[in-house]
Amino acid sequence: MYQIKHDKIIANSLKNNALKDPYERNITIIENDINDKTPVMIGLAGFFGTSYSFLNRNYTSLDFLTMLDVISKKYSFIIILPDTMTHFHGNQYTNSKTVGNYENFISTDLVNHIKNLYGDRDLYLFGKSSGGFGSFTLTINHPDIFSGFIDISGDSYFEYSYLPDFPVTYKVLKNKNLNDFILEFDGKYLHNTDEITAFNIIAMSAFYSRGDGIDLPFNIYDGTIKSEIWGNWLSIDPVNVIKNKLNNIKNKKVILQTGFKDEFKIDIGMNILNNYLTENNVNHFFKEYDAGHFNTNHFYLDSFPEILKNY
């Protein structure tokens, strides 16, 4: 039976972040039958979630820990779950002047901490939604560090997954002060769907727009797209990044999974990635499921063995 431990890390990369979020971070560690070759799997939470989200029990669908109950009977693993929560209630695992250097936090601070604990081992990333995006992005940006990734419905093809939310956000924010909306959002116990959509786009702006502050990709007064800022978003979209950095993952373990009923149409982006990898003869694992964007822990029953069977 696997064991769950808890640890802390001082993250130098997060010191002096603009949001004044803590730079001492909790880490959850799950070990099962480890040996000298056991790989390390780093789990990145989806947006509006953090490391403890992986530990939540669910009695209507398969939860992560119950999935591990199955996997642990056959495979050895070390799972590292870092706390990456921010004032924007989630993370995209990029370096941002507005939020903090979370790409450096994972690729430098956390990786060095793991090496101090376990020595040199193969490192993999996994996650769903924003966690899948982060797993893809960190691996393709740091092929010298990570051996592969599991990307479950990670944010991709932004024209379909984000652009439809712009008019919703525009209408929510019209005639409102942006900072006032954020304070109002943080002060409420319940939010309607449009408010959550708007806050998510605000948060993505903090990560993707590359400015010093929150630069929305559209004009808050009339809704027109700001082409330069929108271009910054598209430059980090996996369907575009992969064209310039394909060689970085040619020899990696690449696993893509998605539900063809994804509510945010992210399955389209995942299929674009799969097709591009196939056309360029890059060995990878891809599978679509009769599922939506949520309650997809059962996907790991296919993807974890794809990595762990080699150890």
24 exposed, middle or buried (CB, 10 Å; 0-12, 13-18, 19+)?
A: exposed
Q: How confident is the model at residue 201 (pLDDT cuts 50, 70, 90)?
A: very high
Q: Residue 61 corresponds to which amino acid?
A: S
Asked if 252 contacts 146 with a C-beta cutoff of 8 angstroms, the reply is yes
pLDDT digits (tens, 9 = 90+) for 69-110: 999 999 999 999 999 999 999 999 999 999 999 999 999 999
Tokens 């793991």 locate to 114
Q: Which helix (H) or strand (E) holds 178?
A: helix 178-187
Average pLDDT over residues 18-46: 98
pLDDT > 90 fraction of the chain, expressed in percent and rounded: 98
Grade residue 1 by pLDDT with cuts at 50, 70 and 90.
Answer: confident
Burial (CB count within 10 angstroms: exposed 0-12, middle 13-18, buried 19+), residue 8: exposed
Instruction: Over range 181-186, report the average pLDDT.
Output: 95
pLDDT of residue 77: 98
Domain 3-157+238-308 has CATH 3.90.850.10: no
Q: What single-letter amino acid sits at 64?
A: F
Phi, psi of 23 (to 5 degrees): -100, -5
- Label residue 218 exposed, middle or buried (CB < 10 Å: 0-12, 13-18, 19+): buried
Question: Cα–Cα–Cα angle for 83, 89, 93, nearest 5°?
Answer: 55
Give the domain ranges of the chain: 3-157+238-308, 160-233
Q: Around Cβ 177, how many Cβ atoms within 10 Å?
A: 11
Considering the chain, what is the average pLDDT of its residues?
97
Hunting for tokens 């250097």 — which residue is that? 101
Q: What pLDDT digit, counting tens, does each position of 224-262 carry? A: 999 999 999 999 999 999 999 999 999 999 999 999 999
d(CA 43, CA 75): 17
Please give the pLDDT value at position 211.
85
Nearest by Cα to 154 from 132, 127, 124, 134: 132
pTM: 0.97
| pLDDT value at 175 more than 90 | no
- Scanning the structure block, which residue is given the tokens 């890390």? 9
Confidence of residue 212 (pLDDT cuts 50, 70, 90): confident
